[in-house]
């Protein structure tokens, strides 16, 4: 039996030329050795929290794979303050949200702008704050930006969506206003969801959480509540035309899918155009789902996780008629946050792979997907010991990822 060895190694420190006053003096580089692509044992070696069995082969703990193309991960900056979401500007720079309520622009050399102000106040307690961000498809001409944040309202806090114009001098957001609030409000600071994307029709797709508490969990199954949902709205915050529950009495017409726990990952598949998501389970049961309009994804009626204190969630069911199975799940959890599909050409074996920013057992997960099933899994940048919060595939074909500790990484083929 031939054993293929792969490891992440620290390479020599490289000096990066930076703009005067940027504060960027150097970037550390890590990478992989040029080894053969292999398929081996699952990357997860810890015992699962539950004795639940998957619904089909390959739903969890698939074979491990290893990247054969040499790549490197360069730390562009360590100076972000609790970054959460990333959007790429047309010139290749990155617009990054900071959880406490400001935006920063990161240059290609890692230099950071001063905090961009003008956004509505956020409640940054717990899991709240300034969250996901996206640019208008016509940003070059209108400079409009859309973001998600946790907002104080009567009765508690809500997941809110806002819009505004990035000023010409890039110092502020002009005419910022809230266009949507996910009610009901709740006096808690957990499970806001928070990702936001544009679809091909120019409508916004937004994820919300069910706010975690036992009293709010059931609302993920209720079509008259915006919690635990994926929503589809216009740029004015109205229900987008063609939504699946537009003509259903008592249902919120902005709902696109339901039965979600806490969705922090949204991405469009580059070839099929389908929406994929990741969401947190409790102890075990983190999920990857392929989202279809009007479908019920099960929480809290079915799950592959258990309560944090032990014991079953509700009836302890993992399958139920009329509820969708996850394409993939993890037990124990990896705590999946932002996700992206690789669209570059530099590393062919990554083409259309799903990359997941993982907070627990900190790493970036690479999932190889064939025919809507996960057939291989790899863990990248494990030795960095960073809680990865968001990841995008840039126009240059590189992956860009931020961590809770304030790092920004560029991951690309090694020259």
Using one digit for the tens of pLDDT, what is the confidence trace for 185-199? Answer: 999 999 999 999 999
Q: Using the predicted structure, report yes or no on whether residue 387 has a pLDDT greater than 50.
A: yes
Strand spans (E) along 200-258: 204-207, 229-233, 255-258
Q: Which residue has the tokens 């309009």?
A: 293
* Per-residue confidence (pLDDT) for residue 12, from 0 to 100: 31
The DSSP secondary structure of 79-134, one letter per residue, reads --SSEEEEEE-TTS-EEEEETTTEEEEE-TTS-BPPPBB-PPP---STT-SEEEEE
What's the residue count for the chain? 415
Tell me how far apart the alpha carbons of residues 335 and 354 are, in angstroms, rounded to a whole number. 15
C-alpha distances in angstroms, 252 versus 12, 51, 134, 231, 298? Answer: 55, 37, 24, 9, 18
Average pLDDT, the chain: 92
* Sheet of strand 144-153: strand arrangement: 130-135, 144-153, 156-166, 173-186
Query: Which residues, 6 or more positions from 83, have their beta carbon under 8 angstroms from its beta carbon?
Result: 96, 97, 98, 99, 104, 389, 390, 402, 403, 404, 406, 408
Please confirm, yes or no, whether 269 is among the known catalytic residues: no
Residues 6 or more apart whose CB falls under 8 angstroms from that of 153 comprise 181, 185
Range in 25-39, 263-277, 280-294 with the lowest mean pLDDT: 25-39
pLDDT tens-digit series, residues 324-365: 999 999 999 999 999 999 999 999 999 999 999 999 999 999
The active-site residue, picked from 186, 191, 222, 260, is: 191
Structural domains of the chain, with CATH: 8-413 (2.120.10.30)
User: What pLDDT score does 28 carry?
Assistant: 74
Tell me the pLDDT band of 32, cut-offs 50, 70 and 90: confident
Pick the most confident of 15-24, 29-38, 359-368: 359-368
Q: What is the DSSP letter of 139?
A: H
Q: Which two tokens stand for residue 372?
A: 């809507």
Instruction: State yes or no: pLDDT of 379 exceeds 90.
Output: yes
Whole-prediction pTM: 0.93
Q: What is the pLDDT of residues 131-153, one digit of tens each?
A: 999 999 999 999 999 999 999 99
Could you say which DSSP state residue 142 is in? H
Q: Computed over its alpha carbons, how large is the radius of gyration of the chain?
A: 21
pLDDT at 9 over 60: no
* Average pLDDT for 200-224: 98
């Amino acid at each position: 039996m031939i054993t293929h060895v792969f490891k992440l190694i620290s390479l020599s420190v490289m000096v990066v030329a930076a703009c005067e006053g940027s504060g960027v003096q150097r970037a550390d580089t890590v990478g992989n050795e040029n080894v053969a692509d292999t398929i081996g044992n699952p990357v997860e070696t810890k015992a699962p929290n539950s004795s639940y069995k998957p619904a089909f082969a390959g739903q969890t703990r698939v074979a491990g794979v290893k990247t054969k193309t040499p790549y490197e991960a360069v730390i562009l900056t360590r100076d972000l303050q609790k970054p959460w979401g990333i959007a790429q500007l047309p010139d290749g720079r990155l617009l990054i949200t900071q959880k406490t309520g400001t935006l920063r622009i990161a240059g290609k050399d890692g230099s950071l702008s001063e905090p961009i102000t003008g956004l509505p106040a956020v409640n940054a307690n717990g899991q709240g704050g300034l969250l996901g961000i996206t640019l208008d498809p016509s940003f070059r001409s209108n400079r409009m930006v859309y973001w998600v944040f946790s907002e104080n309202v009567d009765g508690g806090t809500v997941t809110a969506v806002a819009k505004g114009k990035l000023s010409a001098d890039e110092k502020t957001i002009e005419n910022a206003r809230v266009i949507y609030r996910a009610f009901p409000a709740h006096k808690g600071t957990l499970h806001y969801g928070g990702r936001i994307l544009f679809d091909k029709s120019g409508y916004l797709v937004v994820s919300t959480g069910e706010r975690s508490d036992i009293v709010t969990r059931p609302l993920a199954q209720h079509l008259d509540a915006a919690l635990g949902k994926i929503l589809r709205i216009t740029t004015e915050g109205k229900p987008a035309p063609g939504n699946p529950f537009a003509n259903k009495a008592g249902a919120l017409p902005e709902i696109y899918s339901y039965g979600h726990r806490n969705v922090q990952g949204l991405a469009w598949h580059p070839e099929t155009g389908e929406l994929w998501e990741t969401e947190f389970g409790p102890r075990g049961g983190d999920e990857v789902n392929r989202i279809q309009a009007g479908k019920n994804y099960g929480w809290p009626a079915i799950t592959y996780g258990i309560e944090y204190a032990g014991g079953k969630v509700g009836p302890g069911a993992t399958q139920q008629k009329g509820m969708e199975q996850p394409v993939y799940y993890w037990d124990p959890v990896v705590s999946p946050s932002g996700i992206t599909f690789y669209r570059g050409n530099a590393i062919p074996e990554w083409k259309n792979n799903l990359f997941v920013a993982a907070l627990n057992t900190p790493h970036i997960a690479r999932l190889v997907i064939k025919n809507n099933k996960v057939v291989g899994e790899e863990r990248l940048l494990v030795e960095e010991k960073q809680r990865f919060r968001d990841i995008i595939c840039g126009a240059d074909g590189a992956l860009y990822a931020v961590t809770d500790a304030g790092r920004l990484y560029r991951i690309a083929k090694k020259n």
